[in-house]
Amino acid sequence: MSDLPVPSDQPVPNSLRALSDVSDPGERYRALPDGYRVGQARFVIVTGSVMSGLGKGIFSAGLARLLADRGFSTNLIKMDGYYNEDAGTLSPYRHGEVFVLDDGTECDMDIGTYERFMGHSLSHHNYFTNGRLSQRINALERGGQFSGSDVQFFPHVTGELVRFVRESTQTAGADITLVEIGGTVGDEENRTYISAMSDLAYQEGERSVFFINLVWIIEARHLNEQKSKAAQHGTQLLMQMGIKPQMLVCRAENAVEPGVRQKLADRLRMPARNVIDLHNQSSIYRVPGHLQEQRVDEICLRYFGMDGRAPAAAPRPEPAGSSPPAAAGGLQRYLQALTRTRRIARIGIAGKYLGPRDTYASIHNALEHAGTDRQVRVEAVDVPSDLIDAAGPPPARERQAAEYLQDLDGLVVPGGFGRRGWEGKIACVAYARRHGMPMLGICYGFQAAMVEFARDRCALPAANTQEVEPRTGAPIVLLLPEQYEIEGIGGSMRLGRRTVRLRPGSLAARLYGAERIEERFRHRYELNPLYRPLLESRGMVFSGWAPGQPIVQVAELPEHPFYFGVQYHPEFLSRPGAPSPVFAGLIDASLAGRRAALGRATDEGTR
């Protein structure tokens, strides 16, 4: 009976009307989390044109800081188009450093920028990839959550992206959520996000979503002028995809000329005041002030009908041992301190991911935070451990390391993976230990320090890590116990924020001013506890460990001015105005070493 056609001029029987109402529930699929009300929040969507690496993350964080300073609860989301589940397996050369959150999420480095600007910890609710989207859609389909519909780009795929944005907003209790879409307009993998944000704007209603496009203004040196055509074309491509931005942010090496901004306003049909200059700044922490001078926050709020200042939002509670938030006043004091830096400390970074600054972004930030706190301008110097590695046998490597390090004040040996550059790191550590150079070893750098000490001071020439030499006869570093049954590498390490107990009276306890701290981890290998007594008998002090476990987290050498190794990543919790204690300790020791060297030189000159 139900298969028979019903003439259009006859009323539809109730039985058939009921069937027609539910025949294709997918067409009415709406991405509304439980308890979410449409229109309860506002959204700022940030895209980029012309090229990647424009600084969308810094802009987004700067604008979020301004909105938060006005009392609005502000949330940030980064959406990346790659099909990796997260950033954990990405090469730093491809996508910058991998940043780790409290909950263990391995994410894009822009999330680190968000945290440093906003002063509170984020989570997996603030990060999304096409890989996560694919998993999410597949899990929902397998679970029968699409009511029998064939799963389509519209409304299911775009709907799940909209749902994620709303869920993140709801979790944060945000008045305004900023969504940064990675890459550039025109990237095929970003079409999903752009379509979804267009849907979000339609569903949330008029003046609920504010679109901002960042562009690069080309400065042709042979013409001695700025060119805007690429910026026009990139923005027009976004408009062809159904989104007309309300604001254009012009990135450039130098201040964008008024004529160029006016031309862009005319060609793209937007008010001239909405074409914003964002040329290179001496510090990324000057970006909020530069945006405020152009009233970027006011323009957004006026569009939303949220003029003025919201009631002061209650500060978010931070886990014990964290740095205090970089609120407006704290950031301002930081910038004032930045202008007072007089002395210079030259600190080497002995790594293999050198060249692009983004590969060690958090290290550079932590050095700046610590230096500014001590009124010192830190000059970070690349020390290519892979080139030192390739120099030849150990004596040649040590000579090469000396050439790079001899004029520096201190050394950071950062984290990493794999064989390339490993022996180069060990050569750098050896130079620092033997010449009294302040040295901070982080994760892989900590492990290199332990192997070098075992080889030289413990008469174990075969000492190594199993990561590089699985069959080594002296495995100073080996897999964590929980790693033996794991087959994959993505997301399988010891990740996230964990407690560390510090030995009373140790350098570590003095630096932190506490005996129990929390730091963020990202590692798979650890110091072999069987070798701990031997290393201790030769003078190594293990001053930090995992509570209830024989896992060493901190090592120091009291006979040395500053020979300090940590298994965790202190750079991930360093913030402007609240530097990491271990980076501050490195700067202090580096300055003390420079003063001592100057004193010796003066004495020799007098004699």
From 115, 423, 443, 519, the catalytic residue? 443
Identify residue 333 by its one-letter amino acid code: R
Are 252 and 242 in contact by the 8 Å Cβ rule? The answer is no
From 95, 125, 523, 569, the catalytic residue? 569
Q: Please enumerate, as own/partner, the contacts of 502-509 that have beta carbons within 8 Å and a separation of 24 or more.
A: 502/543, 502/544, 502/554, 503/541, 503/542, 503/543, 503/544, 506/541, 506/543, 506/544, 506/554, 506/556, 507/543, 507/556, 507/558, 507/564, 507/585, 508/543, 508/544, 508/554, 508/556, 508/564, 509/543
* Spatial separation of the C-alpha atoms in residues 413 and 441, rounded to whole Å: 5
Q: How many residues does the chain have?
A: 607
Nearest-10 Cα torsion for 338, 343, 347, 353: 40
| CA atoms within 13 Å, Cβ hemisphere of 489 | 10
* Spatial separation of the C-alpha atoms in residues 28 and 272, rounded to whole Å: 40
- Catalytic annotation on 180? no
Identify residue 291 by its one-letter amino acid code: L
* Spatial separation of the C-alpha atoms in residues 220 and 594, rounded to whole Å: 43
What token pair was written down for 334? 């930081």
* Spatial separation of the C-alpha atoms in residues 274 and 212, rounded to whole Å: 9
Residue 305 vs residues 66, 208, 463, 544: alpha-carbon distances, Å: 17, 9, 66, 52
Identify residue 76 by its one-letter amino acid code: L
- Catalytic annotation on 435? no
Residue-by-residue DSSP string for 333-344: HHHHHHHT--EE
What H or E segment, with its residue span, contains residue 590? Answer: helix 581-606
Q: Look up residue 550 and give its DSSP letter.
A: -
Alpha-carbon Rg for the chain, nearest whole angstrom, is: 27
From 97, 423, 526, 571, the catalytic residue? 571
- Catalytic annotation on 443? yes
Which residues are part of the catalytic machinery? 443, 569, 571
